[in-house]
Structure formats: structure tokens, C-alpha cells
Structure 1
């Protein structure tokens, strides 16, 4: 079982990357979703992670070396006005289920209808 001090609590940029300044820190909660308008820096932040320009820190600011898992979200296209919100959330849920299955993580999804409704609400807000 993983101890609390092995959980990533912060991602700190150690080398400036495009629009992301050096020493920028993203504090993480149990679930963190990165959202924002176009050209707000989301992709630059992910690129900084991919290019090892960040440190992953625990609650005591000790460096951690996590295994990075990328979730392909090709079937989620918020700019595609023809795509229904429910189809987007279904694709996301399918990709996450496949990821957990590949990692051999067993979990029970409770309140599935509420979760799907929340995801659909978030998608609708991004399409406004």
C-alpha cells in the first residue's frame, strides 16, 4: 500500500517552457483536471512534463519519480459541434476503463449516473 508521503502533491516547473514560467507550481488534489481556453498553456504544461522540465513533489516537497501514463483521447473533440456531449463522456469513460484494466486496477464505480452527468455538464460548459 502506498504511503501518503509517496503521493504527488505538486508539479513544479524547473525549466521555463514556452508560456510556462520557471518555478510555476501546480498543487494537486485527489483528482485534478486541467482545463482552460485555447492558448492558455495547457498543452505547454503537458509538454513540460513530457520533456522532463518538471519535478514531482510529495507533501514534504521531496522529489518523486512517477511512471507517466498517457490516456489517448482521440475520440473527444470539444471543437466538433456535431459530437454529442454524451458521446464524448462515453469515450473518456471507455479510455479510463481500458487504462485501469491494463494496469490491473480493480475498482467499483459508484454513482455512475451522477458522474456521467457531471462530466456532461463540464463538457457543455466548455462548448459555450
Structure 2
């Protein structure tokens, strides 16, 4: 039996994940808004996103744009990027990042990445 997905469903998921106004660099994988915006937060900024487009492999994707000069409040090692929505305190998306040591009162850069919803197989 073939499987098929309407792009509108993938786009709805991508829009939910990227309806975020909080983009934090974290020292561990957050599993809640509190962990991503407080417990593991090393520094943060406001996210900016690309338009939704066809995925690199299949399906649909939405890029998170690179950020430079992100203010760091707490020293540690960045291992994860967190997207959250402050209005309803929800974790929207978490991904791993290239590990980088950061120092309080310094800055960090985060490369571009994308969330992708692949077609069913």
C-alpha cells in the first residue's frame, strides 16, 4: 500500500515548530520550556526563519537562519539549540548543535539549520 502526505500537513507542523520567539543555546537537551529557557540556557536571541520549501531529501523544510554575536549569560558547552514560544511557554523544537565552549559575558555564533518533515515511506 502506498503512503502519501499532503504538503499542507507538513507545512502546518513546520509553522507550529517555527512559531517560536525564543532561540536559546543550551548545555543539555531540554525536554520542557523551563529547561530550554532557564535550566540549560547559556545564551539566547530571537529566531528568524526562511520560507517553507521542498525538503532536501523529500517532504518539506523550514530553515532557521544563522545567528552571530548571541549574548552568553552562563559559561558552559553548547550542545543543543532550543526554539520556544514565550506566550504559552511551550517547547517548540530542539536539535543538537556542534559542541562549542562559551564564556559568560561573551558571544557565540549559531549556524543555519532546518527542520524537515519527510514524505512517508
Category of TM-score, reference length = shorter chain: under 0.3
Q: Which has the higher contact order (CA 8 A, sep 6+)?
A: 2
TM-score normalised over the length of structure 2: 0.22
TM-score normalised over the length of structure 1: 0.22
Structure with more strand by fraction: 2
Structure with more helix by fraction: 1
Larger Rg belongs to: 1
